[in-house]
Chains A and B, each alone.
Chain A
Amino acid sequence: MIHTEALTKKFAATLAVSQLNLHVNEGEVFGFLGPNGAGKTTTVRMLTSLIAPTEGQAVVNGFTVGKQDTEIRRTVGILTETPGMYDNLSAEYNLMIYAQLYEVKDPKAQVEKYLRMLGLWDRRFDEAGSFSKGMKQKLAIARALLHEPRLLFLDEPTAGLDPEASKLVRDFIEELRKEGRTIFLCTHNLDEADRLCDRIGVFKSRLLVVDTPAKLRTQLFGRKVVFHLRAAAEALAEAVRALPFAREVKIIDNKLLVTLDQPEEQNPQVIRCLVNAGADVQFVGELRHSLEDVYLQLVKNA
């Protein structure tokens, strides 16, 4: 769906996007994570043929950026960073304009479909300018979907929304995924990325890593298992350290923190070892690193 090679964008002095090699598969939700000014919006603009790359190539929906720009614009949907509605026109009219510009076959029906789906139908005659931030955002999402694009770019869809509105938008993205659409999701919200995305690319001018959220965690930190003991002792830790596969063993209070590559296989052996050494094992649990830890680690090093 999206394929880029050495995609680069320079603005006068700033190198906004450098040598981006990316492949986004059909039907996946791809999270594009990065700090402010990382170049996320710039990347989206290049991939939607709004601005031209300085160097490199990109193929979007089978069309080449810079050569088949109109085809790209026709076939992708984009939620821009700012909704940019015509504030003194009604919500419905705003969408009608775009339905016509996107050459939608039955504009009225499509507009109604998405206004209803996003809960804005009752407010359709109100001026877009009278909408709250969240409502404007929903209206902008509706606008991006009118022509039923298979590939959708969402630039920070939940930025500035309250938890309830964010959840609604997230659920909506989930729905879109179920319909088999490909979604390129720019976000700062790590929790959101973790929950929604099949794969995540962490980006800061250049691509730092790409992987599934789960793999990103293990790659960076390994997987840690916590063994809660009635009484932890250095001798028990020593016993576990003697196991060839234990990567790191630490004692914190009465807990034994063990880093393992394959806990599914190795946990029983650790427990047996502990029991043999005379420990009372109360609970065993996996210590999950939040994606935030991963992200901060990556961005700090970049």
Chain B
Amino acid sequence: MNKINTILRKEWAEVFKNRMVLFTVAFMPLLFTALPLIILYSMRGTSLADASNEIPQQITGFCPNNLSGGECMQVYLVSNFMLMFMMMPLVIPVTIAAYSIVGEKTTRSLEPLLATPITTFELLAGKSLAAAIPGIVATLIGFVIFAIGAAIMVSNPLLLAALLDARWLIAVGVAGPLMAFASTLLCLMVSARVNDPRVAEQISMVVIVPLLGLFFGQLSGFIVLNRQVILILSAGLAAADAALAYFAVRIFQREVILTRWK
């Protein structure tokens, strides 16, 4: 446990010395907090005047029928940003995780590290927590800011309830972090196999992109994310995380990682 903590702190000390990394971690959540708030702000008050028949069926079917068409539009637009909130933890850890092992190969610090009595599990646990937590925390902070902003701006309690629906709380609070770990573990596995940090980031992105497809699926209405779907998704992600963690430790062959390098 202590060793996991040691690795975690060391990773953060190293990573956040680089201000750009801090920026990468904070930028996306801030952006995606600001945009839905701007939408809510600009559409404020238009809700009652709007006639429902102007809004496509696809969108009105999306929200509770006691909301006006304009409010439905707001719910629809904002939900897409909720999805972004859920997906963000998938992308944010990539920079840190992809670099994390291959970076130590290039600086040659991996050998003395592997010579210590640290177990592979402890090493990977420390590294994945270090990569996943900043993205998760930044996203959650962004979401809380959004929720507070929405509560201040939206006067109709039904609209607010629709905006902060339980499914989004589960999506952002549970599915998001689980995605962060899935993405982190995938990137760590890539990072352990390659010999060049740039390649690690490239390949990691290629692995992550299909998952982002889920988001665009939702946008074009192929997949409807209701509460059940999100719960199933979360359960699936939890299982996937467990499997990934198991494999990450299994395929982390200390010797191969150390000597393939030469």
Contact = CB atoms under 8 A, between A and B. Distances in A.
Given A11-B259, A97-B6, A100-B2, A88 B115 contact: no
Given A50-B258, A84-B107, A87-B107, A74 B14 contact: no
A98 B112 contact: yes
A80 interface: yes
Contact of B116 (A73, A83, A93): A73
Interface string B1-37: 0110010001001100110000000000000000000
Contact of A93 (B3, B13, B255): B13
Interface string B49-74: 00000000000000000000000000
Contact of B255 (A52, A82, A88, A89): A52
Nearest to A97: B10
B213 interface: no
B6 A84 contact: no
Interface string A48-72: 1111100000000000000000100
A84 B112 contact: yes
A171 interface: no
Interface string B228-262: 00000000000000000000000000110011000
Contacts, number: 71
A100 B6 contact: yes
Contacts of A85: 109
B3 A100 contact: yes
Given A73-B116, A88-B14, A93-B13, A101 B111 contact: no
Given A84-B112, A100-B6, A51 B255 contact: yes
A49 B259 CA distance: 13
Interface string A86-128: 1111000100011011110000000000000000000000000
A140 interface: yes
Given A50-B111, A51-B255, A101 B6 contact: yes
Interface in A31-57: 45, 48-52
Contacts of A73: 115-117
Contacts of A78: 112, 115
Contact of B117 (A45, A70, A87): A70
Given A89-B13, A101-B3, A51 B115 contact: no
Nearest to B122: A101
Interface in B201-250: none
A45 B254 CA distance: 12
The main secondary structure of chain B at its interface with chain A is helix
B155 interface: no
Contact of A103 (B107, B113, B114, B117): B117
Interface string A126-146: 000000000000001001000
A140 B112 contact: yes
Contacts of A140: 112
B35 to A, nearest CB: 34
A89 B7 CA distance: 13
Contacts of A50: 111, 114-115, 254-255, 258
Nearest to B105: A84
Nearest to A46: B255
A83 B3 CA distance: 21
A200 B116 CA distance: 27
Nearest to A146: B116
Contacts of B17: 88-89
A86 B259 contact: no
Contact of B10 (A11, A51, A89): A89
A294 to B, nearest CB: 31
Contacts of A74: 117
A101 B118 contact: yes
B119 A70 contact: yes
Contacts of B170: none
Nearest to B104: A84
A47 to B, nearest CB: 11
A89 B114 CA distance: 19
Contacts of B112: 78, 80, 83-84, 98, 140, 143
Interface string B88-129: 000000000000000000011111111111110000000000
12 contacts: A50-B255, A78-B112, A80-B115, A83-B112, A84-B110, A86-B109, A89-B10, A89-B13, A97-B6, A97-B10, A100-B6, A101-B113
Closest 7 CB pairs of A and B: A84-B108, A84-B109, A101-B116, A74-B117, A82-B108, A100-B6, A51-B255
Given A50-B258, A86-B109, A101-B116, 13 more contacts: A45-B258, A48-B115, A50-B111, A51-B255, A52-B255, A78-B115, A82-B111, A83-B108, A88-B18, A97-B6, A100-B6, A101-B118, A103-B2
Interface of B: 2-3, 6, 10, 13-14, 17-18, 107-119, 254-255, 258-259
